[in-house]
Amino acid sequence: MTVEELIIEGKKYVHSTHAKMILADILGVGTLELLTILDQKVDDNCVLLYQQKIQKLMENKPIQYVIGNVNFYGYSFLVDENVLIPRFETEELVENTLSYIEKLFDHRDLKVIDLGCGSGCIGITLKKKIPSLNVTLLDISPLALEVAKKNANNLGVSVSFIEGDMLENIHEKFDVIISNPPYLCDLEKIDPLVSQNEPPLALYGGEDGLDYYRKIFLKALSCVSASFLIALEIGEDQREAIVTLAKTTLPTATIEAKKDLQGRDRMIFIFQK
Ligand code: GLN
User: Which pLDDT score is estimated for 175?
Assistant: 98
* Digit-coded pLDDT (tens) for 126-145: 999 999 999 999 999 999 99
Domains and CATH numbers, the chain: 3-59 (no CATH), 80-272 (3.40.50.150)
Percent of the chain with pLDDT over 70: 100
Average pLDDT for 251-263: 96
Q: How far is the CA of 134 from the centre of ligand 1 (A)?
A: 19
* CA 181 to centroid of ligand 1, rounded, Å: 6
185-211 burial, b if ≥16 CB within 10 A, otherwise e?
Answer: beeeeeeeeeeeebbebbbbbbeebbb
**Could you report the per-residue pLDDT of 5-51, keeping only the tens digit for each?**
999 999 999 999 999 999 999 999 999 999 999 999 999 999 999 99
Ligand 1 centroid–CA 139 distance in Å is 9
Atom 3 of ligand 1, residue of closest alpha carbon: 86
**CB–CB of 161/145 below 8 Å?**
yes
Mean pLDDT to the nearest integer, 54-68: 97
Instruction: For residue 72, give the ligand 1 atom closest to its CA.
Output: 10
